[in-house]
Amino acid sequence: MNSDTSLQSILTNPAHPPEISAKTCPLERLGRLLRGTWTLQVLWVLGEGRPLRFGDLRTVIEGISAKVLTERLRFMEHTGLIWRCHEEGVPPKVTYGLTEVGTELHDGLKRLGRITDKLPPE
């Protein structure tokens, strides 16, 4: 059963909602994608401006090591959130930016951020 059908079942028959598991809940997958340390920061920085080179990302995201940034960028490229453009040269030029899906996710997170601004301070 897909998530739309599950939601429809809950809305039309709230007394007998379908079972939701980690495999069928779309927010679980989103949580797994964003759970990695620094993933949200990389997504946010790339979504707030233009595509950036590795060194620029490292400068803008305070405290991130080169190793961790490399791991996050590889993971995010593998999951389709960002693209990577490699240009030959000395030194080689590697630029990163958000894919269409990454941009959609960034926009959704911005909306969530506006909701968070309405919550009382921690």
Whether residues 42 and 93 fall in one domain: yes
The pLDDT value given to residue 108: 93
Whether residues 62 and 26 fall in one domain: no
How big is the chain, counted in residues? 122
Cα Dmax for the chain: 65
Whether residues 68 and 18 fall in one domain: no
Whether residues 30 and 44 fall in one domain: no
The pLDDT value given to residue 60: 95
Closest CA to 35 of 74, 72, 63: 72
20: domain range? 1-35
Distance CA 24, CA 62 (A): 36
Whether residues 48 and 12 fall in one domain: no
Distance CA 43, CA 34 (A): 9
CATH number at residue 68: 1.10.10.10
Confidence of residue 14 (pLDDT cuts 50, 70, 90): low
